[in-house]
Amino acid sequence: MLRVALDVLCLGPPRLTLGRKVLTLSPKAQALVCYLAVTGRPHSREELAGLLWSELPEAAARANLRTMLPSLRQALGGHLLVERDKLSLNPRLPIQLDLAQFLAGLNRASETDLADLRAALKLYRGDFLAGLRLEGTSLFEDWVVGQRERYRLLAVQALHLLAAHHTEKREYGAATEALGRLLELEPWREDGHRQLMTLLAQSGQREAALAHYARCCRLLADQLGAEPSPETTRLYQQIEAGEIAARPPPPPRHNLPAALTPLLGRGAELGQVGDLLQETSLRLLTLRGPGGVGKTRLALAAAAALVDQFADGVHLVSLASITSPGLVWPAVAQSLGLKPQAEALDSLKEHLRHQQLLLVLDNFEQVIPAAPALSELLASAPGLKLLVTSRRLLNLYGEHSFLVPPLAVPDLARLPALAVLRDNPAVALFCERARAVRPSFELSEANASTVATICVRLDGLPLALELAAARIRVLEPGALLTRLSRSLELLTSGPQDASARQRTLRGAIAWSYNLLSPPEQRLFTALGVFTGGATPEAIAAVCHPDPPTESHPDPPTDSQLLEHLSALLDASLLQQAQGRFSMLETIRAFALEEEATKGTLPQTKARHAGYFLALTRQAQLTGPEQEAWLNRLNLERDNLRAALQWALDQGQAEAALASAAALWRYWHMQSHLSEGRAWLEGALALPGAAESLARAEALSGAGVLAWMQSDYQQARRRLLESLAIRQKLGGEGVAHTLNNLGVVSYLQEAYTEARGEFEESLALYRQQGDTLGAARPLGNLSLVVYLQGDLERARTISEEVLSIFRREGEAWSIVTALNNLARVVKRQGEQAYAAALLEEGLRLGRRIGAGRVLADLLEKTAGLLASDTPLYAARLWGAAEAYRQRIGAPMETVSHRDYQHDLKTARAASCPVSFDAAWTMGQALDFDQAADEALEALGSYAATFS
């Protein structure tokens, strides 16, 4: 039978709900239910009658109670227990009382974790039973008043604590909200007013703080006939004198990921690494050891413990997907949010010169040739410390090496008691991972010795323990140990110059590998060529080609392939998430070694490259499938990089050009500008390629990415090369290149030339009957018309272009068209229409990752808000500026006129200190936070016109 819950809300106006039905009861019936719920015990009829009808004789009061009960029983059903002399709510049926949840949340809250406090305060909708008016109930009213004062005091104390917490962390919006609620409850509390004045001053709103003092004075005079205390007046004088300065929001202290599982058995190492990193003379610490020993987990835990020890915090850069030393410094710079530059290392030196930062570089072993530059970095930045994880020493002067040991294992000769053995690091890890695949698994007297022996045989290596524990799903510990013992012969199969523990790790992986069937082994080693995971379709094409090859004479069926993948998942050699399969980097390295040993790696790499190079040529980056293809290419980004690198390494000029030409729109739309230019220029530099349409398209793409980074000279050079090839080969794509040349002219403010190039491109597209193609120069033409002052024509063209892109379903172009039209209609004074266009553009653009255009949309939203809410505008401009720096896409010169006009308007409408503080706060926002604020502001702005 369904047990429907009775919800009783007492904090604020009373509200009773049974299931989804709101109960409509008389005030005294509501009072009775709330009293029974809050007190949580049975009450006699005599007591309840006297409580609710205290002014009537006892007989009349009891008669009124009897009259009420039938309708109340009908409304509450089994939730109301009516006995001969007593009434109560049925404790066997679910009752949810907001007051109980409120008190429980306050009790659970701690000074460091206020989540429960926030949740409790959300339940406090107002005073206890606010608005409940009863006649002739003096006893009940006395009870309500006592309850009301108690819970209001608790709420006020909680709001004080919450406001102080947010103020200390410079989370001014949340602190203001908490203080606002506090003063709604008790507007006469001077300490709350002082807290709000301090907050406003510290958040850069000095004038607002001074104005609030005046409001406080009026309120005290009106309600209490009193003047503010000397303490309040002294605070006012300090703010007026500028003694309480604005505190900008702190930048993020770190970018470390949250740990998903506990770090077991590393207390000693964690302390040692922490102590080393706090030594003044130590600047470079390398955590070294074999793959899978836990270097990364130890580094992350040590860094997390030291976040507050470095003035500029801690920053992690994962190099797992970087194999070229030349990409290390651009990757580090991009991770730190620096604008892409030709000399990324020089940019890093300048950025870090005055910072006190711990920089964690993970998986450095595959880019060792880049190590000498670490010394340069440290020499230029005296406050910088580096924590590096690597399987190999860097061999740098001043490097301090810390060998990460395996987990401690039990002494088999003196096996401890079960309770002690459970706490052994290696045993604890093994048991935890075993329970993950078999929840019923427990360390017991019967299996303790066997489990301890497994841990010793595996030398306490975390990855080896995890691989072995995965087999607990199908093997008991005794059977597991038997198979493991036989496979230990493999522990000497690693490189002879490697440490014993490295060979042990190879043996542990090899043990799992050798438990696979031959077809599963072939699949496993071939999977090593994928980076960033793969779909089942890609795996089938690359690892099991059809028709058969010499290395794969008997490819499996689709169902057999899925069985093989499942076997790899069960053995913890493979991971699966959202329809994709991937490997840990350590296991992938083993798989690649095995594939190379078999002599099949070159063919597998060739098939991998062939599959993904072909995928690029299938990509539909114009038209209705654009969004789906952008998402797909984002997922395959690392595989595409590997395929392109293979083509460049093999000198496959035609293949490299064809794929780079196919991908330039992807790099353009996602604002991977520097990377895209590097791939395009690398493909164009290969010898042997004919003057083909693919080369023309690659040149065109290189030109587009160049102008997006304001490199107009190179852009025009590449576009003119493209145009010459297209004209020589019969004219295909000439309209496209002319349009891009027009953009370069437009950006260089050569409007007459730009207009001519756009009109020539438009005429060619129309001759070809290509409506979608024609919309591009037509849209660009509207930009020239706008800047030349013909707003009506610019609007007509922009609306026509938007209509075409909507009809064709081309998402990225829709966002661009919305952006352009919003600028025109705002200038025409149609602010509500502009707000609607910007809101649609932000929502769609964020969904597809529209890169540079998203910065434009934030800036235009800020311009719309400039006069009415200038501080909101400042936050959005600050966020857009930071976002442009991260993606390396500067604002176009032709946009500066509108931008400067809006900026001037906003500054004139606000206090300079508050404006600059808001700008700084905006720079600390990530894009999603900024977009959320922009959408909220646009919604509020549009509401003023409705």
Backbone phi and psi for residue 43, each to the nearest 5 degrees, phi listed first: -135, 145
Helix (H) or strand (E) holding 875: helix 870-887
* Choice between 632 and 339, residue whose per-residue pLDDT is larger: 632
Q: pLDDT, tens digit, for every residue of 207-229?
A: 888 888 888 898 888 888 888 89
Instruction: Calculate the alpha carbon distances from 266 to 424, 428, 500, 570 in Å.
Output: 11, 12, 21, 27
Predicted local confidence at residue 111, as pLDDT: 56
Residue 260: pLDDT over 80: no
Which of 129-133, 520-524, 755-759, 868-872 has the lowest average pLDDT?
Answer: 868-872
Predicted local confidence at residue 893, as pLDDT: 76
Other C-beta atoms lying within 10 Å of the C-beta of residue 565: 20
Predicted local confidence at residue 494, as pLDDT: 34
Predicted local confidence at residue 488, as pLDDT: 37
How far is it, in rounded angstroms, from Cα 623 to Cα 625?
6
Average confidence (pLDDT) over 55-69:
89
Residue 576 CA, chain-centre distance (Å), reads 20
Backbone phi and psi for residue 342, each to the nearest 5 degrees, phi listed first: -60, -40
Which of 508-522, 645-659, 731-745 has the lowest average pLDDT?
Answer: 508-522
How far is it, in rounded angstroms, from Cα 684 to Cα 699?
8
How far is it, in rounded angstroms, from Cα 61 to Cα 879?
66
Average confidence (pLDDT) over 876-899:
84
Predicted local confidence at residue 171, as pLDDT: 72
Average confidence (pLDDT) over 422-436:
92
Residue 884: pLDDT over 70: yes
Query: Closest by alpha carbon to 10, among 95, 114, 135?
Result: 95
* Choice between 170 and 928, residue whose per-residue pLDDT is larger: 928
How far is it, in rounded angstroms, from Cα 355 to Cα 336?
12
Query: Closest by alpha carbon to 121, among 162, 84, 74, 93?
Result: 162
Predicted local confidence at residue 339, as pLDDT: 73
Predicted local confidence at residue 572, as pLDDT: 67
Mean pLDDT of the chain: 86
How far is it, in rounded angstroms, from Cα 808 to Cα 814?
9
Written as six digits, the tokens of 27 are: 């005030």
Confidence of residue 554 (pLDDT cuts 50, 70, 90): low
Give this prediction's pTM: 0.56
Q: Are strands 86-89 and 80-82 parallel, antiparallel or unpaired?
A: antiparallel
Confidence of residue 681 (pLDDT cuts 50, 70, 90): very high
Predicted local confidence at residue 176, as pLDDT: 81
Confidence of residue 626 (pLDDT cuts 50, 70, 90): confident
Which of 83-97, 236-250, 256-270 has the lowest average pLDDT?
Answer: 236-250
Helix (H) or strand (E) holding 6: strand 6-9
Average confidence (pLDDT) over 751-756:
91
Residue 151: pLDDT over 60: yes
Q: Are 835 and 869 in contact (CB under 8 A)?
A: no
Query: Closest by alpha carbon to 634, among 669, 599, 592?
Result: 669
Confidence of residue 495 (pLDDT cuts 50, 70, 90): very low
Give helix 601-618 / helix 536-543 axis angle, nearest 10°. Answer: 130
For 202, which DSSP code?
A: H
Predicted local confidence at residue 503, as pLDDT: 42
- The angle subtended at Cα 176 by Cα 173 and Cα 177, nearest 5°, is 85
What is the percent of the chain with per-residue pLDDT over 90, rounded to a whole number?
Answer: 39
Residue 372: pLDDT over 70: yes
Average confidence (pLDDT) over 689-705:
90
Confidence of residue 492 (pLDDT cuts 50, 70, 90): very low
Confidence of residue 498 (pLDDT cuts 50, 70, 90): very low
Residue 709 CA, chain-centre distance (Å), reads 26
Helix (H) or strand (E) holding 401: strand 399-403
Query: Closest by alpha carbon to 35, among 60, 55, 53, 10?
Result: 10
Bridge partners for 89 per DSSP? 80
Confidence of residue 387 (pLDDT cuts 50, 70, 90): very high
Q: pLDDT, tens digit, for every residue of 593-604?
A: 899 999 999 999
- The angle subtended at Cα 614 by Cα 612 and Cα 617, nearest 5°, is 115
* Choice between 777 and 910, residue whose per-residue pLDDT is larger: 777
Average confidence (pLDDT) over 403-414:
88
Q: Are 307 and 316 in contact (CB under 8 A)?
A: no
What is the percent of the chain with per-residue pLDDT over 70, rounded to a whole number?
Answer: 93
**Sequence-separated (6 or more) residues with CB below 8 Å from residue 50:** 58, 61, 139
Confidence of residue 584 (pLDDT cuts 50, 70, 90): confident
* Choice between 453 and 291, residue whose per-residue pLDDT is larger: 453
Predicted local confidence at residue 548, as pLDDT: 57
Bridge partners for 360 per DSSP? 316, 387
Residue 534: pLDDT over 90: yes
**Sequence-separated (6 or more) residues with CB below 8 Å from residue 943:** none
